[in-house]
Amino acid sequence: MTDFINKIIGDLEGKKEWKALEARAKALPAEYQVVYGEIKDYVWHGGTGLMDPSNMFKRLVERFEEGAAAGEDVMDVTGADVAAFVESLIRGEETYLDGLRQKLNQSVAKKLGK
């Protein structure tokens, strides 16, 4: 029954964590909020291809909180190439492409009996 409920309404604990993370992001200085929003749009529109971007967002908010606490300008934290900054946050994370590669390789191996 629990699996059925999770399929219908989703992971409630994950939703709580996401809301808490969003509240932390909203507490950041205005310029950090702007960049956070732009990065969020980039990620949700497939800019990273992440299977689960939640860990990346946690690291992003933590880094932004550290930068804001130190009085750093947000662009000093990200650098001029914000996409490259995002890429540095996702190193080692599984992407959709990784999943597709794995599925392809498994399918070929299965069909060839290898």
Least trusted range by pLDDT, from 32-46, 56-70, 71-85, 93-107: 93-107
Is residue 45 within 8 Å of 81, Cβ to Cβ? Answer: no
Q: What does the chain come to in residues?
A: 114
On the 0-12 / 13-18 / 19+ scale of CB atoms within 10 A, 60 is buried
Higher pLDDT, 109 or 76: 76
Instruction: Work out the average pLDDT over 30-58.
Output: 87
Q: Does this model's pTM top 0.85?
A: no
Least trusted range by pLDDT, from 7-16, 56-65, 85-94: 7-16
For residue 68, give both structure tokens.
């804001």
pLDDT at 111 over 80: yes
Is residue 11 within 8 Å of 2, Cβ to Cβ? Answer: no
Determine the longest span between alpha carbons in the chain, in angstroms. Answer: 59
